[in-house]
A and B are shown apart, each in its own frame.
Chain A
């Protein structure tokens, strides 16, 4: 018999649990401006390092530095910052609504606002997002009526989805926002299919797929990457690594063995790892990948490194599984604060204007909430009759019979 030691089973653990000091010493943060910027038609093999580093543009002083620093138009910056502030105001108000028992459920995107918003700003009309449940910024950045979002959250009489879908799982076709599933990972491969269709038809539209670090473990993540690798459709594959999938830290999804960006290497897909709390980096990298897709160079995977400041949802309590102060210790900071500092430094913004914007958006959301509440809360106003609609285009006999039995 050979001298084999007993095998050991490995279950990764995060660096801290409740009661511990937050510890992010293993998060490697390269200095802003250090990552090179390749041409959009680059050979994926030549940029493998970009999946291991972190593309960052804003330095500690709020300067935009390095090859990814773009001359972003002032109105874009302004709209980006305002949309982030607005999204945070929206999230806070909706959280309150849930606490008041006016909706069953809500999910905030606190700390992750820059990703959805800057990406959306880099996109064109007609393109299609396949979002998860934490990309409300996509709608808010396009000025989709806030009251309609709240109507959906309240499942009231004006709910565009007629009370049939869980709060926040919006569907807004005209704003390029594919119906959010609530299942995990399924949309990633659907986005690839949508992009394949665009290429089949000789269109110029592109798709944006979204997934979280946890759901990269789903088989559909692999299905999406293999299809993207084979057919080279115009799709940007976004992985939002916010460190936590409910209570499972990113190591449970395999993040300690390789970066999520590196997974694309096995498929020959170019992959970039980016500071997701750096609005300037998010905007620049989004533009790069979107242009690459639209010019016919195929898919790009982007890992957006960020931190889920909020609980997973209103049904979650992070104090049960992670250090209390972890979110404030997150070394990439707050995306709103960082862009605000950058814009103040460049004379585009001020503390006063920021405070004013916060008040303004809070008031806007309060007013919209009031209006939405007048159409009902917590499902009131949603018609039972609607339950039987839209199962099929035409109601088959068995459903008609069941509806009659119910008496609606």
Chain B
């Protein structure tokens, strides 16, 4: 099976879909000739032509707005917003347009489009290249929100997203593009070649949207997480010896609540772990749902470990980032509480 990093897997997903379906088009800032600042669309213009893979003006609302019009015509646009931090100008088009198209037109018009966007920190990107705005999308009705954590899922879920008849916001944690980053920024970077999820099948396969992945079974505590934090959780499990069950949610909306509930009922403890800021973050929704459904199974309160409620700082990146030390300390406290 071929080895791929996450960039190659994402590119391969678009390649597979473009070869299969003439209606798939790809565009965004720098995605055409150059192939994207993270190289996710490298070579696609050469292969499929500028009619289907092209550069867009620097106007995110324009990117999503034109994609909505194209989708209404019958195309399946897969557009790139260069950084999730740049998605806000497109928010109106996503929230009030793409998300509502099916509802307001009684399915006469739909928005089968994908907005791919790199998110998260860990690359010294400061406040405009590091954010994780996923909760802004799970809070609205009518879009699906996905965050992938490895090359295998990235390809399979991007194919699912392109084939989905509803709009999908597809977050790609940029710190995971080249390897499974575990939060130890001072240690040598790992790459995907040594990781089983770096094995990516050729051709078409899908990973369904709406199913979580139990990446590590355990009995002491459930860690609900996604994106970069999956690897932080794994390394903390190893370092502390706490038998955590780590669930990579992958799809935040729809949410695989059954997998979450089964795990928390088994372990009796639940940590919610994400890189985004704390207040009104997606962790709040997870904590609420776990409390509603598993209250009498909980030994200790649900614990949230997240980025602080500050803008993503530059020099203080590793103070902001919920790395292994913070997660490990919180986990130990949860275990020692009862």
Contact A396 to B66, CB < 8 A, known contacts A172-B108, A173-B108:
no
Contact, CB under 8 Å: A223 / B109? no
**B106 contacts A193, C-beta separation under 8 Å:** no
Name B174-221 residues within 8 Å CB distance of A: 210
Given contacts A160-B106, A200-B25, A390-B107, contact A186 B97 (CB under 8 A): yes
Asked if B96 and A183 sit within 8 Å, CB to CB, the answer is yes
Interface locus among A92-100, A110-118, A161-169: A161-169
Residue of B nearest to A225 (CB): B62
B89 and A219 form a contact (CB under 8 A): yes
Decide if B75 is an interface residue (CB 8 Å cutoff): yes
A165 to B93: give the CA distance in the assembly, Å.
17
Q: Contacts of B166 on A, CB cut-off 8 Å?
A: 392-393
- Bound-complex Cα distance A335 to B2 (A): 68
Residues of A near B25 (CB, < 8 A) are 200
**A391: chain B residues within 8 A (beta carbon):** 102-103, 141-142
Closest to A386 in B: B106
Given contacts A164-B103, A173-B109, A396-B254, contact A193 B74 (CB under 8 A): no
Contacts of A201 in B (CB 8 A): 73-75
Q: How many A-B contacts at CB < 8 Å in the complex? A: 143
Smallest beta-carbon distance B23→chain A, Å: 8
Could you tell me which residues of chain A, from 175 to 203, have a CB within 8 Å of some CB in chain B?
178-179, 181, 183, 186, 189-198, 200-201
Contact with A along B99-136 (1 / 0, CB 8 A): 01111111111100000000000000000000000000
How far in angstroms is the closest Cβ of chain B from A397? 6
Q: Is the CB of A178 within 8 A of B93?
A: no
Contact: A193 with B255, CB < 8 Å? Answer: no
Measured CB to CB, the closest approach of chain B to A115, in angstroms, equals 22
- Determine if B106 and A227 form an interchain contact, defined as CB atoms under 8 angstroms apart: no
Q: How far is the CA of A152 from the CA of B210 in the complex (A)?
A: 34
Within residues 242 to 294 of chain B, which ones have a CB less than 8 A from any CB in chain A? 253-255, 257-258
Please indicate the chain A residues that have their CB under 8 angstroms from the CB of B89 in the complex: 219
- Evaluate contact between A193 and B102: CB separation under 8 angstroms: no
Which of B59, B106, B255 is within 8 Å of A162, CB to CB?
Answer: B106
Q: CA A73 – CA B100 in complex, angstroms?
A: 41
* Contact A200–B72 (Cβ < 8 Å): no
Are B75's CB and A392's CB within 8 A? Answer: no
CA of A192 to CA of B56, assembled, Å: 13
**Contact between A200 and B104 (Cβ–Cβ < 8 Å)?**
no
- The answer to whether B253 touches A396 (Cβ under 8 A) is yes
Question: Is residue B316 within 8 Å, beta carbon to beta carbon, of the partner chain?
Answer: no
22 A–B contacts, CB within 8 A, in A order? A161-B105, A161-B106, A171-B105, A178-B109, A183-B96, A189-B65, A190-B97, A196-B66, A200-B25, A200-B70, A219-B61, A219-B89, A220-B62, A226-B59, A227-B56, A230-B57, A390-B103, A392-B142, A393-B107, A393-B166, A396-B210, A398-B257
The 8 A-B pairs of least Cβ separation, nearest first, read A193-B69, A193-B66, A223-B62, A189-B65, A197-B73, A179-B105, A171-B105, A190-B69
Chain B interface residues (CB < 8 Å from chain A): 25, 51-52, 56-57, 59, 61-62, 65-70, 72-75, 89, 92-93, 96-97, 100-110, 141-142, 144, 165-166, 210, 253-255, 257-258
